[in-house]
Amino acid sequence: MALMTGEQYVESIRRMDIKIFMFGERVSSAVDHPILRPSLNSVKATYDLAHKPEYEDLMTVKSHASGKKINRFCHIHQSTDDLVKKVKMQRLCGQKTAACFQRCVGMDAFNAIFSTSFECDKKHGTAYHKNFLAFLREAQENDWTVDGAMTDPKGDRSLSPGKQADPDLYLRIVERRKDGIVVRGAKAHQTGICNSHQVLVMPTISMGPEDKDYAVAFAVPLDAENLFMIIGRQSCDTRKLEGTTLDVGNSEFGGVEGLTIFDNVFVPNERIFLNGETDFSGMLVERFAGYHRQSYGGCKVGVGDVLVGAAALAADYNGANRASHVKDKLIEMVHLNETLYSSGIACSSEGFRTESGNYLVDLLLANVCKQNVTRFPYEITRLAEDIAGGLMVTAPSEKDLRDPKLGPYVEKYLRGVASVSTENRLRILRLIENLTLGTAAVGYRTESMHGAGSPQAQRIMIARQGNIEQKKQLAKDIARIE
Amino acid sequence: MKLPQRVRIKYCGGCNPRYDRTALAAKLRAAFPGLDMPETDEDGGPYDFVAVLCGCPAACAEHEGLEGRAGKMLIVSADQYEALAAAVRERLG
């Protein structure tokens, strides 16, 4: 089953015993819960789109391992063209869901571990690459959604993992057995983990020799024993419990995060991809971050496309569409959005082959891409709110619109242009609300800031890769300084 | 029984199409009801003609190895519809 259908994916998640907690209670499954279902639907879209002829050129690819047609989300990049197509696929998925569709993180983890395990084996004589290839083949064959988990809670940021007051604030190995390891710790901010098949865990920072137990990478199924998650709250999340479609803005798609706890989870030897080789922890982090910073040059752009369209419709619906300042604001939104895309494409086109044979993005350009993402979506949302007007946050509820007594007043006084229904006007405004400050703002705004590393993390990488000395020499040459 | 001639419709991935590629394909189908126009290789070739519908001038669709007996045409804009229809008419007519 190298390509699952959306429905097959849903049923495969339903069959798993994933331990999810929310509002202090166990949730039986992400499949049937109204707060979690939109997140599952976003991933489902990645399966559905792969079966549509008009999208298969981006959504599917031939596996380098098996030669079979697979979902691109399970692919190991074989060229810069693959890197470019990844970004294009992400833009497409963002356009179709207006949400985080969650599978990028696994794809980015696949590619980072693929090359890092190869180089680690070469230096240390370990067998992690072989382990990883076996896992990858299974992931491709079963078309798994894999959550790539990097971010530890980190406790006191001024202290290294081993110096924390609580040693579990970075995920660590607590026991080494003949047949595997036992790990304890947590991974925070895991988007879509409640509807994934497997979790691929990586260390979160570069490490010194004293942090051997923290330099660990592995995979386990999400229903592994002693693994559970606590779902994060989102603004407006309980609107999804009200049973209406208008007020949630995007009733079908979304993304949710979970604090994922590994409370002494056993990992068999064959699923271990790093075990104490602290000198490769930094490489793994840097490569994963590079891929994931590239990802944002695709996914956020696709969501931005939807927001630009929503803002334009809001102007159409209230008759402001011909105003020159509105046109100019839409142009600015497109300019910012396409600038994000440009850096996503640029870091892909300038990618290079690693020792293992897969392709890595240009790290300077990937970090520039993500640095832009920490800023431009905020300006795009500001402009969208400007065009939308205050009604996006003051409009009455869908229940009021449907109420026999109140509805006619809502219809009458909140109408924009006569040719568009009040309901449609409110639908667009609620979508803008959803993206700018509702549940989807988690993905489009704050995740743009902190996902794949907070702004300072990119600035450190830009400083490292910026090649200032060469630029000094250029200036000296022009100025004729010996 | 003579089998209908086949025009293979191949799409690019559709990340940011500047026109509706599926609508253009539907228009072509409506104009040539006697032709078979598969969108996948499920039934295999050969094909009499191949229409590669790309959403923009980047034309990144992978169509290497996809050939039509009477040729192949790359479309990157809705404005090319008439030319595509004319090519199908002339070459398969």
Amino acid at site A110: F
Task: For CA atoms A73, A78, A84, A85, give the dihedral sign.
Answer: negative
Q: Using one digit for the tens of pLDDT, what is the confidence trace for B50-66?
A: 999 999 999 999 999 99
Q: Using one digit for the tens of pLDDT, what is the confidence trace for A321-376?
A: 999 999 999 999 999 999 999 999 999 999 999 999 999 999 999 999 999 999 99
Classify the phi-psi angles of A273: left when phi > 0, otherwise alpha if psi is within -120 to 50, otherwise beta.
alpha
pLDDT at position A447 is 95
Residues of B in contact with A59 (CB under 8 A): 13
Cα separation, A6 vs A47, in Å, equals 5
* Contact present, A265 and A220 (Cβ < 8 Å): yes
Which entry of A74, A100, A194, A347 is annotated as an active-site residue?
A: A100
Cα separation, A73 vs A120, in Å, equals 24
In chain A, ranges of CATH 2.40.110.10 domains: 6-278
Q: Where does residue A438 rank: exposed (0-12), middle (13-18), buried (19+ CB within 10 A)? A: buried
Answer yes or no: A369 catalytic. no
Q: Is the pLDDT of residue B43 over 90?
A: no
pLDDT band at B3 (very low <50, low <70, confident <90, very high): confident
- Contact assignment for A58 to B11 by CB distance below 8 Å: no
* Contact present, A260 and A199 (Cβ < 8 Å): yes
Residue spans per domain, chain B: 7-92
Q: Using one digit for the tens of pLDDT, what is the confidence trace for A277-309?
A: 999 999 999 999 999 999 999 999 999 999 999
Which entry of A74, A104, A120, A194 is annotated as an active-site residue?
A: A104
Cα separation, A149 vs A112, in Å, equals 12
Cis peptide bond N-terminal to A396, omega within 30? no
Enumerate residues 6+ apart whose C-beta is below 8 A from A134: A270
Residues of B in contact with A56 (CB under 8 A): 11, 13, 40
Cα separation, A425 vs A420, in Å, equals 7
- The candidate with the shortest Cα–Cα distance to A90, out of A313, A291, A252, is A291
Best probe of the A interface among B15, B53, B54, by most A CBs < 10 A, is B15
- The candidate with the shortest Cα–Cα distance to B41, out of B65, B60, B21, B59, is B65
* Contact present, B60 and B10 (Cβ < 8 Å): no
* Contact present, A443 and A304 (Cβ < 8 Å): no
* Contact present, A271 and A135 (Cβ < 8 Å): yes
Nearest to A57 among B9, B16, B61 (CB): B61
Angle ∠(A283,A288,A291) on CA atoms, nearest 5: 125
- Average pLDDT, whole number, for chain A? 97
Q: Which residue of A has its CA nearest to B41?
A: A53
Cα separation, A150 vs B27, in Å, equals 48
Angle ∠(A240,A402,A245) on CA atoms, nearest 5: 25
Cα separation, A4 vs A253, in Å, equals 19
The minimum CA-CA distance between A136 and chain B, rounded to whole Å, is 24
Can you name the residues that pair with A274 across neighbouring β-strands? A217
Answer yes or no: A299 catalytic. yes
CA dihedral A36, A37, A39, A43 (to 10 degrees): 140
Q: Using one digit for the tens of pLDDT, what is the confidence trace for A4-33?
A: 999 999 999 999 999 999 999 999 989 999
CA dihedral A173, A177, A181, A183 (to 10 degrees): -50
Predicted ipTM of the assembly: 0.89
Cα separation, A208 vs A277, in Å, equals 10
- The candidate with the shortest Cα–Cα distance to A204, out of A300, A274, A101, is A274
Could you please report the per-residue DSSP string of A56-97? HHHHEEE-TTT-SEEEGGGPPP-SHHHHHHHHHHHHHHHHHH
B39 interface with A at CB cutoff 8 Å: yes
Q: Is the pLDDT of residue A67 over 70?
A: yes
Is domain A283-473 in CATH 1.20.140.10, yes or no? Answer: yes
SS3 (DSSP) at A13: helix
Q: Is the pLDDT of residue A1 over 70?
A: no
**Segment (H or E) for A246:** none
Q: Domain A6-278: what homologous superfamily?
A: Butyryl-CoA Dehydrogenase, subunit A, domain 2 (2.40.110.10)
Cα separation, A102 vs A256, in Å, equals 9
- Contact assignment for A53 to B11 by CB distance below 8 Å: yes
A54 interface with B at CB cutoff 8 Å: yes
Cα separation, A308 vs A435, in Å, equals 11
Q: Is the pLDDT of residue B42 over 90?
A: no
Q: Using one digit for the tens of pLDDT, what is the confidence trace for A402-419?
A: 999 999 999 999 999 999
pLDDT at position B45 is 84
